[in-house]
Amino acid sequence: MMSSIPGVRPGSLLLVLLLAALSHCVAASEAPSFEQALGALATSNFKQKERAAGELVGVRHANTRAVLDALLEGNLYYRKADKRVFIAVTQEAGLELRDALTLQSAGTADAADFSKITTNNQLRKTLRSALASFDLTDPDAQVRLGAVNEMLRSLDADSVSILRARERDEKDESVRQAIRTGLAIADLNHEDAARRLSAVEQLKGSLNPEVFNRLTALVSTSDDGSYTEPDAKVRSAARAALAGIENSRSFYSMLETLFFGLSLGSVLVLAAIGLAITFGVMGVINMAHGELMMLGAYTTYVVQLIMPQHIGASVLVAIPVAFVVAGGVGVLIERGVVRFLYGRPLETLLATFGVSLVLQQIVRDIFTANNRPVETPSWMSGSLQINEAFSITYNRLYVVLFMLIVFVILQWVLKKTSLGLKVRAVAQNRAMAKSMGVRTEWVDALTFGLGSGIAGVAGVALSQLTNVGPNLGQAYIIDSFMVVVFGGVGNLWGTLIGGMSLGVVNQFLEPHAGAVLAKILVLIALILFIQRRPRGLFPQLGRAAEG
């Protein structure tokens, strides 16, 4: 076979192949390993550190990212005795160490035995480029997209070169689009006006914040009145692009405000829905309703203390526990106080206000007056990024979904169960229900417990949005009554629509009028509305409504 190659004898070809294999082995042996590149960082020479950082990226070891991050953040040290490199965090007892080679814990040591691997501006710039290059070849498209967006914040010649090289190999369309955006931003500084004009046209419609900032700078004027962009066509195109971007940003800003309003409305519905049941069925003005929500929030805190290793599951466990705790306290309030005051709403108001003070003091005695920290699970943290101008936080999204689930379950209980039938019968005509054999006193107790349990569940949701303290419920009790009165006493659909409406209106008013004035305006509008429709949006039907 070898003899068939013209001009090459078999022995010569064998020698060439042997030399090629030998040169490959030599090259492989000359390539630095991760350990060698890591050891090269233990020097005071910044040029050598830059070369070592480049070698670490070339090796692409699984721990390279952690080492470069630690170096950039100033957390990389080497032991003076043997030049071994560690990732270290300063503690009172010394340095808490992790072996940079394995990322395993290496205990603590005296800081005097170690020397910090320092950086300068040039090295930090090199590290950022190295990290960006490292992330741009990551298998995960989201990591690559994040790297591109990070590079857009501080584009320079090196970054542009990296992006141009990566554009040819990138397969994911969203990442490629981000790279094209970065290259177009870089072209805004090009000396050719036609190139700048093409870049502006390419950036039209982009919602990237860096695009908006650069186009704004392009049409701005300097102190002497001259434009930053000398070409009139480029300025005109930039103004048109900015107008389109501002319209899109305004639209998404309105959507974001609407979502915040819906999430606030969901909180109001959760806080008011239990009150709507007790107020509608029993005619009781329960001023302790806010403290029942507070008990639900504290229940979440206690459950997390019991389950410190399972924070994600603790919130789910806290929901039924909070329902039982708050519902049980509600039954005790009804049996011990409220049942003696039926038919006297003002006296129930005063009595339950006294109960609220007692509950607040009990909580202060047990947990102190300080706010308690409730940890947000990882699955509720962060946000859902719709685009570069609009994102939805997961905790608020889950609150909206949770409210809808609670609402559906409560509707099912009231429409499909024996308890629901009796509750509706008592609400419409208490005397007739009693004459038909319904034990109205137990229906009252269970209804009060049901409304109180839902208040506890609302407290679980509130624990993920606000501080958990003895005064948590006071911030929502007035708003809860407003929702109930606006929607229609005893009508769950009215409570849902009323709570959502008040939440959205309040959220749209706040940016223009401020938080306090917005609440005042909503209250005035509600008073005027009640003057026209005393029974709310959805008046209660039946004989009870006639009284």
What are the domain boundaries of the chain? 1-30, 137-230, 252-381+394-546
Q: pLDDT tens for the chain, 547 residues: list them.
A: 444 434 434 444 333 333 344 334 433 344 468 888 888 888 888 888 888 888 887 777 878 888 888 888 888 898 888 888 998 888 877 888 888 888 888 888 888 888 888 888 888 877 777 777 777 877 888 888 888 887 887 777 777 888 888 888 888 888 888 888 888 888 888 888 888 899 888 888 888 888 888 888 888 877 667 777 788 888 888 899 999 999 999 999 999 999 999 998 998 898 888 888 877 667 778 888 889 999 999 999 999 999 888 888 889 999 999 999 999 999 999 888 888 887 787 888 889 899 999 999 999 999 988 888 888 888 888 888 888 888 888 988 999 999 999 999 988 988 888 888 887 777 777 778 778 888 878 888 888 888 899 999 999 998 888 888 898 888 888 888 888 888 877 678 888 998 898 889 988 888 888 878 888 888 888 888 888 887 777 766 544 444 4
- The phi-psi region of residue 487 (left if phi > 0; otherwise alpha if psi is between -120 and 50; otherwise beta) is alpha
Looking at the DSSP bridge assignments, the partners of residue 96 are: 89, 108
- 348 with 341: CB under 8 angstroms? yes
Beta strands in 114-161 (DSSP E): 114-116
Between CA 378 and CA 468 the distance in angstroms is 19
Give the Cα separation of 78 and 117 in Å (integer).
7
First to last CA, the chain: 109
Report the sign of the C-alpha dihedral through residues 445, 451, 457, 463, in that order: negative
Q: What is the pTM of this model?
A: 0.72
CATH number for the segment(s) 252-381+394-546: 1.10.3470
Q: Fill in the amino acid letter for 261.
A: G
- Using CA atoms, how far apart are residues 70 and 117, in angstroms rounded to an integer? 10
The structure tokens listed for 24 are 């490959």
The span from the CA of 216 to the CA of 227, in Å, is 11
